[in-house]
Every structure is written in C-alpha cells, then in structure tokens.
Structure 1
Amino acid sequence: MLRTAGGSRAFALLVLLTGAAGLLASWVITLDKFKLLENPNFIPGCSLNPVVSCGSVMKSDQASAFGFPNPMLGLVAYGIVICVGVSLLAGARFPGWYWLTFEAGCLFGICFVTWLQFESLYRINALCLWCCLAWITTILLFWYVTSFVVRNGFLPAPAPVKTFLAEFAWLLPVLHIGVVGMLILTRWWDFWTS
C-alpha cells in the first residue's frame, strides 16, 4: 500500500500563511510592475530611500530572470502553496511522490531566492521590502517542508538528523533569516549608522 502523510494543524497553517504572505508580496510587486511599465517615472510606495528602493529592483534585469516579471512566477507558486496548506487543513494525506515534488518546488524557490538576495545586495545595490517578505516566507517554507519530508522518511536521513529536525525544526529557518539579516546589515552598515 502507498504510504501517505498529512501534516499537523500547525504545519498546515504555516504552509497556508507562508503561501498567503508570498502571494501578497507577489501581487503587490506585480501591480507596481504594471504601473512602472505604464509610467517609467512611477515610484512604488515601498521606495523609501536609496537602499530600500523597490523601483530600482523592479527595473533591474534580474527582476525578469525568465523573460517575464519574477512576481508572476510567485503568483503561481505561492498559489500552489496555499492550495497545499488548505488541503492539509482539510485533512488531506499525500503520498511520498507528492511530498518530494513539493520539496523540489521549495528547493527551487530557496535557490532562486538565494540568487535574488545576492543580486539585490551586491549587484542591484537596493532592497525591495515586498521581496524581503517573499524571501522570509520562502525560507520558512523550505526549512519546515524539508524537516517534514525528512521526519516522515520520504528523504533518507540518519536518525540523529530526524531527531534534530523533530525537536529543533525552528532553528534552521531562524539561523537562515539571521544570516540574511546580518548580510543586509553589514552590506549597508554605513547607511544605517549615518
């Protein structure tokens, strides 16, 4: 018989809320991108200063990595995440192939977000607040889904790793977000302290 797994209510809510936050970020960025296309002089509301400058990020080549605006990818991807979260809340149980596919999507998301973080910090030289929200939601989603998939045996791992992920699943996303925060802080240290 095909082994299936469903998540706890807390896990389902985390998946749903990260999906909703990512969708909100993607939606706002998409709307601002349309306004920017209509009027090249449009300044998004989240362009607060030379560092927090959503407009600079939206005008960059990296903002359309696949030939279309990145947030349009987010509209689809985070919509799928919301569907998974709602299904889990309704009591759905999915087979291993489904969880591994979902994990592969999360892996793609974290790799893409990591590249965007690097580009934003060291090539574009600006931050977008809505992008930062998408980064945080993707980091949380990736680490919690990875923990779930490993703990349920869909990805092989030694027993100590499973135990660690069962007890300290929160630690990896906190460390990851902390590292990104420190990179942002050190990248613009002079700006923040002047």
Structure 2
Amino acid sequence: MSPGPALAPDTTATLRPRTVAASRRTGWVMVLTGTIGWLASFQLTVDDWRLLRDPAYQPPCNISPVVSCGSVMSSPQGSLLGFPNMLLGLGAFAAVAALGVAVLSGARLHRRLWLALDAGALVGVGFVHWLIAQSLYELNKLCPYCAVVWIVTIALFWHVTVHCLERGIVPVPRGVLYVVRDTHGMLLSAWYGVIALLVLTRFWPYWSSLL
C-alpha cells in the first residue's frame, strides 16, 4: 500500500510576522513625544532638587497663584510611589525616544514590544488623568511642565494605539478600524478639547480676572 499524501506543514504561525515596521509618522511621534516629555521631566527634576536644597527657591514655572509647579512637586501626589514622579518620566520618555529613533532608522520592532509600548502608554495615560484630577480639584494648581507631560503622553498613546490597530497587532473589527483610522486626528483633538475645557472652567475666576 502506497503511503498517503504528506500533510502540509502548519504555516499559520508564519503568516503573522513577529516583527512589525512602522510609518515614519509613528517614528516621529515617538521621537518628539519622548524628547519633549524627557525635557519636561528633566526640568521638573532639576527644580525639585533645587527645592530640596533651598525651600525658599522659586521655580521659574511659579508664574501665578494658579499656574505653579513648586507646590505640586512638594505634594504627596508628586511622589506617588515614594519617589518623585518625574523620575518615571525620565526613564520612560528616554526609552520611547530611543525606540522612535530605531523606527526612523528602519528597524522592525517585535510585536510584543509594540504591545508592551502600547500597554505602558495606556498606564501612563491613566496616571496622567489621575494627576489632572488631583491638580484641578485637590491641589488647585496648574503645573506648566506637568501639562506638557500630559499632552505628549496622550499623543503617544493615541498614535501607538492607532499603529497597533492598523498593523493588526491589536485585533479589532474592520469597521472599528476604519472609524479610528479616518477620524483619529479629530478624536485626539476632541480629547484635548475636553481637558482644556476642564482647565478653563475650573480656574475661570482667575482667567477672567486677566481679561
């Protein structure tokens, strides 16, 4: 009896490449958000160190009774994990910028690395929104450098998420993908608009006094 036909090897695992390239737009977003976030975190770290050495030191971001970062840095919310929050930013944003440079150089990152980056950005967004709530409704202060970190963290999360959806790293229904891809700029603008509206209404007595 002749042997039956050989079974074809299972190629399912090879249909989905382990490494995924990214557009230059995604690479530039990573480089810019990582660099800007790192610079803001660095300035906060320098000011925090100077405050520790000299409690009378006035950081340059202490602009008014509302727009100020000195009291924010010295608050319990400024050291949620037992050390200054900006130290997290120094490490995280440096890694994002380095990965962005790699993407712009043509590197293809592993799917798990993209997932880890997106998950880390999601955690960062959650942390940022907690800080926004604390700043507006507990500390009653608006820290300029902190606001910069808020902006770049949201932008990083949104663009990396869109990338993961477009490349199939995070599977979603095709209809959802089309909506996100076609309106991602508008959705991000709306996200920023809600935060700006919260800041405007929370400190409206102060803003109106400047008019």
For the aligned pair, the TM-score class normalised by the smaller chain equals over 0.9
Matched with 1:115 is 130
Q: TM-score, normalised to structure 1's length? A: 0.97
Matched with 1:86 is 101
Q: What aligned pairs does 1:55-70 form with structure 2 within 5 A after superposition? A: 55-70=70-85
Q: CA deviation at 1:166?
A: 2.0
Distance 1:115 1:76 in 2: 20
Task: Return the letter of the residue paired with 2:179.
Answer: F
Matched with 1:188 is 203
Task: Return the letter of the residue paired with 1:58.
Answer: M
Distance 1:181 1:54 in 2: 18
Distance 2:67 2:34 in 1: 24
Q: CA deviation at 1:174?
A: 1.2
Based on CA coordinates, which of the two structures has the bigger radius of gyration?
Answer: 2
Distance 2:47 2:65 in 1: 18
Identity of matched residues, %? 44
Task: Return the letter of the residue paired with 2:158.
Answer: W
Q: What aligned pairs does 1:110-189 form with structure 2 within 5 A after superposition? A: 110-189=125-204
Distance 1:74 1:135 in 2: 11
Q: Which runs of 5+ in 2 are unaligned?
A: 1-13
Q: CA deviation at 1:168?
A: 2.1
Q: CA deviation at 1:175?
A: 1.3
**How many residue pairs align between the two structures?**
194
Q: CA deviation at 1:115?
A: 0.5
Task: Return the letter of the residue paired with 2:102.
Answer: S
Q: Which runs of 5+ in 1 are unaligned?
A: none
Distance 1:176 1:44 in 2: 30
Distance 1:179 1:40 in 2: 35
1:15-41 CA distance string (max 9 Å, x none)? 100100000100000000000000111
Distance 1:188 1:89 in 2: 41
Distance 1:9 1:142 in 2: 16
Q: CA deviation at 1:11?
A: 1.4
Say if 2:100 is the partner of 1:100: no
Alignment equivalent of 1:10, drawn from 9, 14, 25: 25
Distance 2:29 2:173 in 1: 26
Q: Mean alpha-carbon deviation: is it higher for 112-121 or for 162-171? A: 162-171
Q: CA deviation at 1:158?
A: 1.1
